[in-house]
Structure 1
Amino acid sequence: MNGYTLAFKPAIGLYGQHDPSAVLFDDGTPVFGIEEERLTREKHAPNTFPTNAINACLDYRDIELGDIDEIRLPYDPSLRSRIRSHYLTDAVRAPTLPRKLSALEQTLVTEVQSQFFPTRQVESRLELIGSSVPPIERLAHHRCHAASAFHPSGFDDALVLTIDAKGEYDSTVVWRGDRNGLERVRTYEHPNSLGLFFAIVTEYLGYRMFNGEGKVMGLAPYGTENPEIERHLRNLIDVGASYDVTELTKRWGTGHGLELLTEVFDRPPKEDTDEFDQWEKDFAHTAQKLLEEIVLDIVEAHTDTVGSHNVALAGGVVLNCKLNKRVREAACVDDLFVQPVANDAGLALGAGWVGRPPETVDDLSTVYFGSSYKTETIEEILETSKLTYAEPANVEQYVADRLADGALVGWFQGRSELGPRALGSRSILADPRTADSRDRVNRFVKHREGWRPFAPSMLEDVASEYLVDGRPSPFMIEAFDVDPAKASELEAVVHPADNSTRPQTVREDQHERYYRLIKAFGERTGVPVVLNTSFNDNGEPIVEEPIEAIKDFYGMGLDLLVVGDFVLEKDATRQPTTREVGELVGSADPEPVTRERTTAIGNG
């Protein structure tokens, strides 16, 4: 692969419904990547073509669409025909004759499009971006997930497992990864879908599919063993390496499964998520337990078959960090890599790596693939907005001290992250040492349920001190148990029900300013850890641009905002003066490098 390759995941027509993204590769190396939701400001950007993400990729290298050598799509619609009978059966199951006929007509139209005109809709959208459309290659959905997991893992060989709701025809796939690439070992065809199974569980508990699964995972530890719930669920599904969940998932969407759960448990789906009773917590606990049991059985059944005890995971289901913990801890697993952009947004990464020799792909240690903003650009935005701000000579020390004093901080630095986790570029930060920090962030900043836990960022070299079997984990994609002797130092970022946490470990070469901040906080408090959650309000995507960070700062219960080199304090009396900044950094220079604007907000 030479020159520019553009890989993108649409969310229209034959190409899925959610999480569109685009990644630009230069000679096989990803140089820029972004999700469409960051630019449209609609969570998951459903039913959307990634026009903005594609343009952002082109703008990054100041090129046009015609300068791209090849476009890669992480779907091959022609493969849908392998489960054509399922689509026809599903259409016939529609409840009334007019709906049956409509469903059959749509199924036939889709079948014709996927076999004879699979890229026509994509080409027409690309023609609106540039007059010269490069050659388009279609790649199998799960193969792209598998490449995203194996190629950047650093493994010479691995059992690769991809799990989501549905590719073209497959929902779970076992792969053998080695120096020669990827070989499909076992396929679980749709509708035998673990992703759809957990989506049904999610909607039964009052959340939305493809959005609330992580909340159900977080709720599960509050539950306990409930033999009645477990008996009913085990009667509906078969677990083990030859699992079968189709009794619940035989119809696309969640409607059929919700009706069946309502009938079996004599309880309707939950309508709100303000509070959960013990039965609902137990239901989440049991569903999580069965999901973990199935995936663990698949891994145990195939490590010897594949001939490797390294495991690489991708697909939306493996955003479940507690599931990943169980896999990592399995006796048959020597090492684990989980693609941090495990959901469909990460397909663009995999599409760019499919077909490349795995050893030519760099190990993945960061996902800072998005936009950054120059200091002068940020300052111009602040000036135009008539905001009071200061430029401390030592931003990290100033913020560390404010965190230690209990401040809630918006932190906007460097290139944005690709994927669903904020990793120190678009983050909200707080002191991790008290439960009060967790409660205040939930109530005043994130405006969400008070029971939901947060995650920490910690220096990589202290992971073994705070975590049981701690190791580098830079992506907040795996859970760990917290050392009981250290739990009292991390009350805000330890799950109250099971003493686990989902850490990000940080090295200086990964994010220099964020590392320095955490180090400074550790020097001030003795705890080189901060609470880190994504910089967004409830229900919106993570902020992408400085102006969005500013808007959220004034719409949320944050105390200060750090945008690049600049600090904004909501309480004007806390705004650092030139003298205070000089004293803060211990400077002997009577005129430290600092600037300050004191124009009041709203005044000309």
Structure 2
Amino acid sequence: MILLAIVLGLGGPYHHDASACLVIDGQVIAFAEEERFSRRKHHKDSRSCAVAAAYCLSEAGVTLAQVDEIAIAFNPAWPTPSDTCTDADLIAELLDPALFGHHRPRQVTVVEHHLAHAASAFHPSGFADAAVLVVDGSGDGVSATLAHGTTDGLKVLRQFPFSQSLGWFYETVAEHLGLGDWTSAGKLMGLAGYGNPDRYRLDFLTPRAGGYHLDLSRYGIRPDESVDDQYTDLRYYRRLKTAYATAYTDLGIPPHRRARAYTGGRIVPDTGFLPEHADLAASAQRLLEQCLTELAREALAATGATRLCVAGGVGLNCSANGRLASLPGVENLFVQPAAGDAGCAIGAALEVALRRGDLTLPGPAMTTAALGPAFTAGAVRAFLDDYGLSYRDHGDDLPTAAAGQIALGRTVGWFQGRMEAGPRALGRRSILADPHRIPTRDHVNHRIKHREPWRPLAPALLDDTAPDLIGTSTPYPFMIVARPATEAARTAIPAAVHTDGTLRPQTVPRDGTDPYARLLASFAEQTGRPPALLNTSFNHEAEPIVCTPRDAVATFAASPLDALAIGPFLVRKDRLR
């Protein structure tokens, strides 16, 4: 009998973005975010990872009792150092015993939050040596970490406290402009492309050699103030938000509260913006990029590395990642596609596997985020039949049929294979459209996604034609790094080019066995244009990316999507009437 080394990692400890990752013999077997099962975006106000963990275990056919070690990506005893946690109530909160035959693990291993982030970026990068940069709001009292990754593992070089948080700075700008809470900070990146970054001087945050310095003294928070006792109860966070609100108001920009109306039973957000809003967004984006640049330069200089790994919530900023990728001295960049707190489950599990001797570095490079649930054609057919839906079984020709729909200007929900990790749809749970048609992009944003018209949509393209559109043959499999659009891209796929002249590509290997690659190739054959499609996540604004056939059908039915390509089946709305 072969004995397996089984490690379960749990992420999202701060009552949002809970997740689970199963690693066996040093290899990631499964990963999923709890929100995909609870259908509550970011799984807010809960740290339970139970359903995601149950899925991961079922994928491998093992039980929780068979797991050798469970890792959590935070220290519940912070600021007291701790290697393990034996709090039975906390463990039961993370892993509901009712889902695991009433098995109750006696202890879990603690992996410090930023170390879990760093491990999620370096361990699956495939690099033997790299500088590692982690930037987020905060975790275990830390908001930024510089580290060195080698075949021996990770060595932390420098950390910035939560009182110097770049993530919190960025999210407060988004909140001040009425874009939403911390979960909506990414909207600011799209709005920034419409603004003038020279209009506002945010001189409380200063990039400088080795990093940056934040000083909000004039707004009531001194950088040398002792605030550790205000961290866990969020007193400091609330004070910080008040300070930033005053700073932005002093610039002549009062807090903006976007009006919401109701039309046809659904919420219609106010999607307009004033010039000063775009200018503040642009100023904040550029300042963030300048600070990240200084951090990256420091990490590269301290390590002597030519490869850079990035994680943390700020690592989801595609524009900033594009800036980092272009830095002199950066030969290769790897950004964990699940860069936010959910990805900590991957890092915690891999870090524990390394310590146990189950993982040897460098391991294989992470080239796919397809780590979640998949559904057989039989299961999909049974579901469609149960709901009385009319469909056609195209078998292996499904990509050709779906490409034909897109070539006619229709929008297609695409549900194939294992669900992706992270917030970006990567050809498993996607909404796809023709990137040549700018009105189609606006239709997707306004009518299907119910979101702001200034938010960019990304292109998926076959990698052998990528140089013509993104100017490089470097693979970009995760749609997480912005690239300057070429003139060819501006002509051929204008709907995927943002107003700032960039695009956020996903390059797809040409592979006759991959339905997604075959879809791209067929679209090119049918239109005579490049093998590229407009790709956004299969969901509407208020829900997580769809996980199951039920989710896909519900979102399809409630939206003006024209067709649903699910397994080998194509469901068309014009045949349902």
Please, what TM-score do these two structures have when normalized by structure 2? 0.89
1:261 paired with 2:258, answer no
Which residue, 377, 397, 404 being the options, matches 2:407?
404
The residue type equivalent to 2:18 in the other structure is P
Residue 177 (structure 1) aligns with = 149
Q: Is the 8 A contact 2:253 2:276 kept in 1?
A: no
Task: Please list the CA deviations of residues 28-86 of structure 1 after superposition, one character each: whole Å capped at 9, or x if unmatched.
Answer: 2111111000001111001211121122122223332212111111112334248xxxx
Task: Please list the CA deviations of residues 539-570 of structure 1 after superposition, one character each: whole Å capped at 9, or x if unmatched.
Answer: 21000010111111111111111110111110
Where do residues 380-395 of structure 1 align in structure 2 (5 Å cutoff)?
380-393=382-395, 394-395=397-398
Which residue, 181, 184, 199 being the options, matches 1:212?
184
Q: Is the 8 A contact 1:191 1:246 kept in 2?
A: no
CA distance in 2, matches of 1:467, 1:218: 19
TM-fit CA distance, 1:258: 4.0
CA distance in 2, matches of 1:360, 1:132: 35
CA distance in 1, matches of 2:541, 2:513: 26
CA distance in 1, matches of 2:248, 2:291: 23
TM-fit CA distance, 1:286: 0.3
Which residue, 551, 570, 573 being the options, matches 1:570?
573
Task: Please list the CA deviations of residues 64-112 of structure 1 after superposition, one character each: whole Å capped at 9, or x if unmatched.
Answer: 2212111111112334248xxxxxxxxxxxxxxxxxxxxxxxxxxxxxx
TM-fit CA distance, 1:133: 3.1
Residue 24 (structure 1) aligns with = 22
1:416 paired with 2:419, answer yes
The residue type equivalent to 1:428 in the other structure is I
Q: Is the 8 A contact 2:153 2:361 kept in 1?
A: no
Q: Is the 8 A contact 1:158 1:310 kept in 2?
A: yes
CA distance in 2, matches of 1:570, 1:539: 23
The residue type equivalent to 1:280 in the other structure is H
CA distance in 1, matches of 2:289, 2:571: 44
Q: Is the 8 A contact 2:176 2:245 kept in 1?
A: no
The residue type equivalent to 2:126 in the other structure is G
Which residue, 524, 535, 538 being the options, matches 2:526?
524
Which residue, 237, 251, 259 being the options, matches 1:252?
237
Which residue, 33, 37, 42 being the options, matches 1:44?
42
Q: Which has more strand, going by share of residues?
A: 2
Q: Is the 8 A contact 2:476 2:505 kept in 1?
A: yes
Where do residues 95-110 of structure 1 align in structure 2 (5 Å cutoff)?
none
Which residue, 207, 218, 239 being the options, matches 1:239?
207
1:143 paired with 2:145, answer no
Q: Is the 8 A contact 1:428 1:535 kept in 2?
A: yes
CA distance in 2, matches of 1:448, 1:567: 26
Which residue, 328, 349, 354 being the options, matches 2:351?
354
Of stretches 330-339 and 526-535 in structure 1, the one that deviates more from structure 2 is: 330-339
Which residue, 187, 190, 193 being the options, matches 2:162?
190
SS of residue matched to 1:561: strand
Residue 67 (structure 2) aligns with = 68
SS of residue matched to 1:396: helix
SS of residue matched to 1:256: helix
CA distance in 1, matches of 2:492, 2:164: 43
Of stretches 365-374 and 303-312 in structure 1, the one that deviates more from structure 2 is: 303-312
User: What is the number of residues matched between the two proteins?
Assistant: 534
1:513 paired with 2:515, answer yes
Task: Please list the CA deviations of residues 330-387 of structure 1 after superposition, one character each: whole Å capped at 9, or x if unmatched.
Answer: 1132221111110001001001111515525221000111111111111111111011
Task: Name the CA shift for 1:560/1:298 in 2 (closer, same or farther; >3 Å).
Answer: same
Residue 133 (structure 1) aligns with = 104
Residue 534 (structure 1) aligns with = 537
Q: Is the 8 A contact 1:470 1:480 kept in 2?
A: no
SS of residue matched to 1:337: strand
Residue 132 (structure 2) aligns with = 160
TM-fit CA distance, 1:265: 2.1
Give the structure, 1 or 2, with the largest relative contact order (CA under 8 Å, sep 6 or more).
2
1:379 paired with 2:377, answer no
Task: Name the CA shift for 1:166/1:119 in 2 (closer, same or farther; >3 Å).
Answer: farther
SS of residue matched to 2:442: helix
Residue 92 (structure 2) aligns with = 124
Residue 11 (structure 2) aligns with = 9
CA distance in 1, matches of 2:141, 2:511: 41
CA RMSD of aligned residues (A): 2.1
TM-fit CA distance, 1:449: 1.5
Q: Is the 8 A contact 2:186 2:317 kept in 1?
A: yes
CA distance in 2, matches of 1:502, 1:364: 19
Residue 324 (structure 1) aligns with = 321
Residue 595 (structure 1) aligns with = none
TM-fit CA distance, 1:284: 0.2
Mark the runs of 5 or more structure 1 residues left unpaired by the alignment.
83-113, 573-599
Q: Is the 8 A contact 1:193 1:246 kept in 2?
A: no
**Percent identity for Structure 1 against Structure 2:** 36
Residue 548 (structure 1) aligns with = 551
Residue 232 (structure 2) aligns with = none
1:475 paired with 2:447, answer no
Task: Name the CA shift for 1:63/1:369 in 2 (closer, same or farther; >3 Å).
Answer: same
Q: Is the 8 A contact 2:174 2:180 kept in 1?
A: yes
The residue type equivalent to 1:255 in the other structure is K
TM-fit CA distance, 1:268: 2.1
Task: Name the CA shift for 1:53/1:392 in 2 (closer, same or farther; >3 Å).
Answer: same
1:501 paired with 2:486, answer no
CA distance in 2, matches of 1:330, 1:364: 23
1:460 paired with 2:430, answer no
Residue 171 (structure 2) aligns with = 199
TM-fit CA distance, 1:434: 1.5
Of stretches 172-181 and 504-513 in structure 1, the one that deviates more from structure 2 is: 504-513
Q: Is the 8 A contact 1:152 1:358 kept in 2?
A: no
SS of residue matched to 1:415: coil
Which residue, 296, 299, 304 being the options, matches 1:299?
296
Mark the runs of 5 or more structure 2 residues left unpaired by the alignment.
222-235, 259-269
Task: Name the CA shift for 1:462/1:385 in 2 (closer, same or farther; >3 Å).
Answer: same
CA distance in 2, matches of 1:466, 1:255: 41
